[in-house]
Structure 1
Amino acid sequence: NSKGEFKITAQVNDTLHFSYLGFKSIKVRVTNDWLKFGSSNIELTELALALEEVVVNQLKLTGYLEVDIKQVPAINDNYRYSISGLPNAGYEASKTSGLTKVIGSIFNPADFLHRMFGKKPNELRKLRKMKEDDEIRNLLASRFDREMLTVLLQVDRVDLDEIVSQCNYSKGFIRSANDLQILDAISECYEEYKLLSRGRSKRL
Structure 2
Amino acid sequence: MKNIILLLALVLATVNTFAQDEIVVKGVVMNDANDDLLENVNIVNLNQVIGNVTNEKGEFAIRAAVNDTLYFSYLGFKSLRVRVTNDWLKFGDIKVKMTELGIALEEVVVRPVQLTGYVEIDTKLIPVYDNYRYRIAGLNTGYEGGGNQPGAVSKVLNSIFNPADFLYNVFGKRPKQMQKVKQMKEDDEIRNLLQSKYDRETLMAVLQLERVDIDEILNKCSYSKDFIYTANDLQILDAISNCYEEYKILNRQKR
1:74 deviates by 3.9
Q: 1:61 aligns with which of 43, 50, 57?
A: 43
CA contact (8 A) 1:146 1:179 kept: yes
Structure number with the bigger relative contact order (C-alpha 8 A, sep ≥ 6) is: 2
Correspondence for 1:197: 251
* Aligned partner of residue 145 in structure 1, secondary structure: coil
Correspondence for 1:83: 84
CA contact (8 A) 1:70 1:151 kept: no
1:155 deviates by 1.2
C-alpha distance in structure 1 between counterparts of 2:81 and 2:243, whole Å:
35
Which letter does structure 1 place at the counterpart of 2:85?
S
C-alpha distance in structure 1 between counterparts of 2:211 and 2:249, whole Å:
26
C-alpha distance in structure 2 between counterparts of 1:190 and 1:82, whole Å:
29
Gaps of 5+ in 1: 1-55, 88-107
* Aligned partner of residue 61 in structure 1, secondary structure: strand
1:152 deviates by 1.5
Identity within the alignment, %: 50
Correspondence for 1:12: none
Taking structure 1 as the reference length, the TM-score comes to 0.53
* Aligned partner of residue 218 in structure 2, secondary structure: helix
Q: How many residues align?
A: 124
* Aligned partner of residue 169 in structure 1, secondary structure: coil
C-alpha distance in structure 1 between counterparts of 2:197 and 2:210, whole Å:
16
* Aligned partner of residue 222 in structure 2, secondary structure: coil
1:126 deviates by 1.8
Correspondence for 2:223: 169
Query: Kindly tell me: are residues 70 and 114 of structure 1, through their superposed partners in 2, closer, same or farther at Cα, counting changes over 3 Å?
Result: farther
Q: 1:180 aligns with which of 205, 217, 234?
A: 234
Q: 1:117 aligns with which of 166, 171, 176?
A: 171
Q: 1:134 aligns with which of 183, 188, 192?
A: 188
C-alpha distance in structure 2 between counterparts of 1:82 and 1:190, whole Å:
29
Gaps of 5+ in 2: 1-37, 52-69, 89-161
More strand by share: 2
Which letter does structure 2 place at the counterpart of 1:119?
K
CA contact (8 A) 1:70 1:148 kept: no
151-160 or 111-120, larger mean C-alpha shift:
151-160
Aligned pairs (5 A) from 1:13-162: 57=39, 59-65=41-47, 68-71=70-73, 74=78, 81-85=82-86, 110-162=164-216
Query: Kindly tell me: are residues 61 and 158 of structure 1, through their superposed partners in 2, closer, same or farther at Cα, counting changes over 3 Å?
Result: closer
Cα RMSD, aligned residues only: 3.0
Larger Rg, first or second structure (1 or 2): 1
